[in-house]
Chain A
Amino acid sequence: MSRKVKAIVLTGNGTNCEMEMAHACKLAGADVIDIVHLSELLYGEKRLADYSFLNLPGGFLDGDDLGSAKAGANRFLHARIAGHQEILFADLIDFIAAGKLILGVCNGFQLMVKLGLLPGLESNYTAQSTTLTFNDSGRFEDRWVYLKANAQSPCVFTKGLDVVYYPVRHGEGKFVPASATVLKQIARKNLFAFQYCDADGLPAMQYPANPNGSINAIAGICNETGRLFGLMPHPEAYLHRTNHPRWTRECLSEEGQGIAIFRNAVNFIRSKEF
């Protein structure tokens, strides 16, 4: 009997992709999928510890009013769980320490980066070392992009993937490291799991293939264990052939390419490695 995969999709305060993220978990075969409002965690009605796969969906936490996910990150760091002295962030650190998986998409990725969970160099999950900032174009854009998976990456979510096609939908997705040293570490440890690329899979620095001007075309990064992963593009937006912008003119498989990310997560939790 394989291990049960219990997925939690965290919502509230401005997230908006929770439904499709939960659906992606379902299609990927997770056994339990709960869409949980942040208040349920803060009121102690639901506990992170009961799950093995945390999904942080896209959206606009607090409107991204102070910069993407900034106020959201502040809440994780300072909101206390009712009846405990613990802050929510402490539960998150325990979750990571237990080797469980976290996937942040778009605003969820921005949240992970601003909390310091990603890239979490040297397992330091409390210091922000990279950021996601305003697109070079100065505008929000909804656009499909090609992504090249880094075969050398420890990322458990991108295992076996090569070139995939997902939409980006953001105004603040430009990946910027704090320093050249940070960038070097990300490169050396192959933490860049996804790069924006052209249709042939070559990393792209030119707009619009690189839609936001991300340094080194980085679209998604993981931590050193590969169990925490965040990306700007939306895999949960491509779950069925009809999501593809050219499905009426191309031969595509029925299953959307986004499911692979979630299936990798589910399979990893079921595996011995977990």
Chain B
Amino acid sequence: MADRIEVGFKKGIRDALGEKIKRRISDNFSLPVEKVSTVEVYTIEGGLTKAQLKEAAAGPLSDPVIQNYTVNKPLSIDFDWLIEVGFRPGVTDNVGKTAREAIELLLRESSGARKISVYTSRQYLLRGKISRTDTAMIASGLLANDLIERHQIFGPAEFNFTSGLPAYVPHVLGEDKPAVEEINLAGFNDDQLLKISQDKLLALNLEEMKAMQKYFQQKSIVAARGKIGLSENITDVELECLAQTWSEHCKHKIFNSQITYTTSGAKLTIDSLFKTYIKGSTAQIRKAKGKKDFCLSVFVDNAGIIKFNDNYNLVFKVETHNSPSALDPYGGALTGIVGVNRDPFGTGIGAKLIFNTDVFCFASPFYQKKLPPRILHPRRIYEGVREGVEHGGNKSGIPTVNGSIVFDDRYLGKPLVYCGTAGFMPARLNGKATHTKEIMPGDAIIMTGGRIGKDGIHGATFSSEELHEGSPVTAVQIGDPITQKKMTDFLLVARNRGLYRAITDNGAGGLSSSVGEMATYCGGCRIDLALAPLKYPGLQPWEILVSEAQERMTLAVDPKKVKQFIALAKKMDVEATVLGKFTDSGKFHVLYCKKTVAFLDMEFLHDGVPQLKLAARWQPPKNKEPNFPEPVNWGKALKQMLARLNICSKESVVRQYDHEVQAGSVIKPLVGVANDGPSDAAVIRPILDSMEGVVVAHGICPRYSDIDTYHMTACAIDEAVRNAVAVGADLDCLAGLDNFCWCDPVKSAKTPDGEYKLAQLVRSNMAIFDYTTAYGVPCISGKDSMKNDYSIGKTKISIPPSLLYSVIGKIQDVRKAVTMDAKRPQDLVYVLGETKDELGGSEWFALHDAVGNNVPKVDAECARKMYRALHKAIGAGLVASCHDCSDGGLVVALMETAFAGGLGMNVDLKYVPYQGKKRNDYILFSETASRFVVTIHPSAKAKFDKIMAGNAISEIGFVAGNELFQITGLNGRLIIKEKISKLKEAWQKPLNF
């Protein structure tokens, strides 16, 4: 028996959420809805008395100043349609959890030992002349995600106005009947092996299944298993554990494969892209830096660690959470951000989190074609992802300081959600270096934070596949930032008191990965899954092992400190449970109720996966060169370009992220006279009484992949570096992070062009090597997500190969940093770097529905020299503003510089250093890399010119006191004369919703 409490706004109080929903209904569906009101519903189980229900409703569940409530009767009766949306069974209900805790506290004395559960739902009361079909469309197209939520629709005729809706409890109907299934792989043929992989969503290939088959037939293995009561059969726990550990997501099998790369003339065998190009480049850079090497821990931990100063280290990681965000944008993105938070938090001895970054790739929110099955509208993905990252970041108290949104309709099948987090840790703590991990046999294995449920089962294997018909619902989790915040608050205290020896996070693969990876530090482990706290009954042992339920860390704790550790957890209201101990047995040993359910050699678990052998073939594409004349109406052309989704202002999203909590923000994402100009990079001060800072920036250029991923990658690296340099970073103090999001590059019936896609991956890696070594910016960590395809029925959508390159670095004195907005009239405008006729893949060509072939190519030698000189000029205080030229080219950078400063600008194109076909539009819109727009005070000119001597720089005009943006064309005539306010308006409008 359950009761319902409904809470809504009093008459005359504005229902801001209802109004927002009304706007969205009007924007998304153009339906004539007059009014939307919202009612919060709490369904409470536990047999509370009427008085207790009233006490709860009047107490924590409602605000007496603005809200009314009812108990077991409908609150609002004025509607044409009522939609109630609640969670499906087992879906994380954060508000329900908080309500339960509040009610338990409220009724502590009077409720006795009874168990209370609270489930939340929300009513939307619609007024307006719309049909049931319209209402159903609003419900499933906007208000409820049917994958995780259920909804009901009522018209007044079907509604019981006396009792309202009956209380519905979304119980997980699970019984505790733990069972371990066993399979004898010995007699299976190839087809049968593959069928197991498919049926169980293991995402393993034949070779891998065969490796398992072989392992379980070895005599020594069979004998050892016999001793602990296991047969030669593989248990489902072992099978699932191996599938997680060997998943593409966890093992990066494509990056570690042996690749035969063929181009028109040559053939090259690459033994692991990762080792050859990524690890290889970092090793070379570190060697070249010698004593100036700042890397402390690269590629071995959850995140990379570099030195900040003698007393502190910086930790950085960027992850993606694409597949879950396609199914549930809000939950997927929320989990993405709180998930990546745990990476730096679980690196070394653990780091305090100091900022988040996020980069999203979506299809156009204004997409109008018919959507393929199981695909949510891009606008919904946009809003959901934005909100998920908002809640994840803001509620965790971590500022979101840098990011961008990239649009391309090929992200319709899978949006990309890159989330990054940096941490800050003392270099030494309790007498020990903090950047390494150490575990002793005998240390207790403790899991802390949230409980385990069916959420996120098969997340790692799921993300190793394309989105298909059978993609599991359980792969989606919803993060709970507050449970995580409480856990991180507790663990930082425990860390500082030296209460644990090592820490890691539970992400993909759950305990299977976290315990499995930690066990490599000492050589084995032994855990009993029956000890793990569960959200609800009915989980099988294998599910407990691989569940990706969120907000959990795994720790190694000295047995002498277990008591203290658990006591501190209890005091700080965090759950912590001993699951077993680390050993040196060489075995990954898992029990359930003291009975062995998995017994695998550590070596086989971690190194037993066979190396893939793949072929790559590079054939440069030949795109059509466009043929269009120079624009006649320049004002229109500029405004069209400013309104391009990849160029226009992202302010409405940026504002909804707290970008200054922790009070160290120096260069914010929005700058300029009206606080709305687009920053190139972020700078923060992690120590409030010091002027040392951290700079973070990124580059991403997926459009260039249509021509050559080598140059796409080079441009992304250059963009990240030059964004950082633009605010004052020192090239020699930057570290990088690579995040590959690719479409499936393995040739198969589904992917006939796999060899080309793999060649694209090879070329991208080659560029990583060439450009990170040229710049001396080492990769310190990274990640790849290789199956960003959608494939249902005959529709296949593959994303363009997308590399996000992020950089982080130290800034010696933040007071030297500069922003991109023009500062004063009469300041001189410079362009740094030569412009070339490189419009291939540009926004200008895209506006003309063309790709072209002249992709921007980075001249690292020239760029490096210029970046060093510019850093010197900025350090000397000579630069008033500096803005990087990227999407949309020189003229977009000039316009942004002008209107962010609220000032006009006069520029003459004949002074722009340029090589190529003489066209005004080419000079203005070419996206040649390694260029900046800089303004300086006239008095700084001599010094600036001297420092920059030897670089392709040129004074091209001046900042004007009037509000006009004017450009003189190659023919010497004024071709552009526009009000900056009009330009700014065009730039601000598209995504201002």
Chain A interface (Cβ < 8 Å from any Cβ of B):
11-17, 19-20, 23, 37, 39, 43, 58-60, 62-67, 70-71, 73-75, 77-79, 114, 128-131, 133-144, 167, 169, 174, 176-178, 213, 234, 236-237, 239-240, 242-243, 245-249
Contacts and interface: CB of A to CB of B under 8 A. Distances in A.
A133 B63 CA distance: 9
B60 A17 contact: no
Contacts of B486: 12-14
Given A242-B814, A248-B818, 10 more contacts: A15-B397, A39-B573, A74-B60, A138-B17, A138-B20, A239-B688, A245-B670, A246-B673, A248-B819, A249-B821
Nearest to A68: B63
Contacts of A240: 685, 688
A13 B571 CA distance: 12
A128 B481 contact: no
B666 A249 contact: no
Nearest to B814: A242
A249 B98 contact: no
Contact of A66 (B61, B108, B390, B573): B61
A70 B7 CA distance: 14
Given A11-B489, A138-B16, A242-B685, A19 B98 contact: no
Contacts of A43: 571
Contact of B106 (A78, A236, A243): A78
B914 to A, nearest CB: 30
Contact of B689 (A23, A169, A174, A177): A23
A35 B661 CA distance: 17
A203 to B, nearest CB: 20
Nearest to B819: A248
Contact of B16 (A14, A23, A137, A167): A137
B572 A78 contact: no
Residue in A65, A131, A177, A247 with the greatest tally of chain B CB atoms within 10 Å:
A65
Interface string B659-700: 111110110101111010000000001001100000000000
Contacts of A14: 395, 482, 485-486
B156 interface: no
19 contacts: A13-B482, A13-B486, A20-B662, A39-B573, A63-B94, A63-B481, A65-B98, A66-B95, A70-B63, A71-B101, A73-B60, A74-B60, A74-B102, A77-B59, A136-B16, A144-B675, A169-B660, A239-B688, A243-B660
A40 to B, nearest CB: 8
A141 B655 contact: yes
A142 B655 contact: yes
Contacts of A63: 94-95, 98, 395, 480-482
Given A60-B394, A129-B65, A19 B573 contact: no
Given A114-B63, A242-B685, A140 B390 contact: yes
A169 B63 contact: no
A40 B397 CA distance: 21
Contacts of B657: 142
Nearest to A129: B65
Residue in B61, B661, B672 with the greatest tally of chain A CB atoms within 10 Å:
B661
Given A12-B489, A144-B675, A236 B101 contact: no
B95 A138 contact: no
A79 B571 CA distance: 13
B117 to A, nearest CB: 15
Given A23-B663, A249-B673, A249-B823, A60 B63 contact: no
Nearest to B15: A134
Nearest to B481: A63
Contacts of A23: 663, 688-689
A104 B594 CA distance: 52
A39 B572 contact: yes
Nearest to A23: B688
Contact of B485 (A16, A75, A141): A16
Nearest to B668: A245
B64 interface: yes
Contact of B663 (A12, A19, A75): A19
A162 B671 CA distance: 25
Contacts of B688: 19-20, 23, 239-240
